[in-house]
């Protein structure tokens, strides 16, 4: 049995306060028994992709073991013997930036990073302005407590990403997330949008025989151009390999969830439903095409 910790918070424009609060919540989750703890997407700042603004690139940081953010998180991981997954804005070099998640093992060792592969470009989610698509592939990190995969937000909608992550050995897939409603759409589409988001991830859990952990932010964030803003819908959750939600956070409150997951269930489910065994890998060549005419 492994306990996963989900940190769902409201963010402000003060990056120092956001970071300190998340560190405080990570420590609390660790004290409450969490073994693997995941932050929400871009947890140190507001969701700055609502507008295209060159100033926001100043929020980015170089990602390596000498990075101050990673040093602090590594010390906490080592002290409390927890694995930490942290979502950060990465400056790779001048002009190349990524939406990146780092993984730190329970002894404080920096295991590496995943760069978000699928980059959206929608009203108030102008991520293509900021982020270069990831180039590190889909991978599994072998941590003290479990073999885990990390994908990020928009990756949630792609079965190929979940499949390849599971095929690389992941037993738990974590999704740091920042998703919500535009106020003008909530009444008409809000329920359907949320249901689609939850359903597709539950489907990934079933199709791959894995646990899915989605960690979303909450609260309303005003758009810098005063145009509508986003109401993040929270409701971070953990789904088991049957697609059942074990636990879910509220829509509008900061919460720390510590949820036990039984990794033995994966063996059981994959034996009963041998989807990996029955894959027709000889018939999937067209999956690499944009569209089949």
User: Does residue 49 carry a catalytic annotation?
Assistant: no
| Active site (annotated) includes residue 253 | no
Active site residue 116: yes
Active-site residue identified among 44, 91, 113, 116: 116
How far is Cα 148 from Cα 138, in angstroms, rounded to an integer? Answer: 11
Instruction: Check 38, 41, 171, 202 and give the catalytic one.
Output: 41
Exactly one of 38, 44, 49, 153 is catalytic; name it: 153
Please give the Cα distance from 6 to 48 (Å, whole number).
22
3-state secondary structure of 280: coil
For residue 22, give the nearest of 31, 13, 10, 4 by alpha carbon: 10
Instruction: State how far the Cα of 249 lies from the Cα of 234, in Å rounded to an integer.
Output: 7
Report DSSP state, residue 61: B
- CB of 266 closer than 8 Å to CB of 210: yes
| Residue ranges of E strands in the chain | 2-8, 36-38, 83-93, 96-104, 110-115, 121-122, 125-126, 140-142, 147-150, 172-177, 180-181, 211-216, 218-221, 230-233, 237-239, 245-248, 255-261
What is the CB neighbour count within 10 angstroms for residue 62?
13
Which residues are marked as active site? 41, 116, 153
């Amino acid at each position: 049995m492994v306990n996963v910790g989900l940190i769902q918070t409201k963010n402000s424009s003060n990056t120092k306060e956001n970071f300190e609060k998340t560190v405080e919540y990570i420590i609390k989750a660790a004290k409450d028994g969490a073994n693997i703890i995941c932050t929400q997407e871009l947890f140190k700042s507001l969701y700055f992709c609502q507008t295209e603004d060159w100033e926001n690139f100043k929020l980015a940081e170089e990602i390596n073991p000498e990075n101050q953010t990673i040093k602090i998180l590594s010390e906490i991981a080592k002290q409390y013997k927890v694995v930490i997954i942290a979502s950060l804005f990465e400056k790779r070099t001048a002009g190349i930036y990524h939406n990146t998640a780092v993984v730190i093992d329970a002894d404080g060792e920096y295991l590496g990073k995943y760069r978000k592969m699928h980059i959206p470009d929608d009203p108030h989610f102008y991520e293509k302005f900021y982020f270069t698509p990831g180039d590190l592939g889909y991978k599994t990190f072998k941590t003290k407590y479990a073999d885990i995969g990390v994908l990020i937000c928009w990756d949630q909608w792609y079965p190929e990403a979940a499949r390849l992550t599971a095929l690389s050995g992941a037993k738990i897939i974590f999704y740091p997330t920042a998703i919500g409603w535009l106020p003008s759409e909530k009444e008409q589409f809000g329920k359907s949008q949320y249901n689609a988001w939850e359903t597709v991830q539950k489907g990934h859990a079933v199709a791959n025989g894995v646990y899915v952990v989605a960690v979303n932010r909450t609260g309303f964030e005003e758009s810098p151009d005063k145009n509508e803003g986003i109401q993040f819908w929270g409701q971070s959750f953990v789904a088991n390999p049957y697609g059942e939600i074990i636990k879910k956070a509220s829509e509008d409150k900061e919460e720390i969830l510590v949820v036990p997951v039984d990794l033995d269930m994966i063996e059981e489910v994959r034996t009963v439903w041998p989807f990996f065994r029955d894959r027709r890998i000889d018939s999937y060549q067209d999956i690499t095409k944009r569209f089949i005419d």
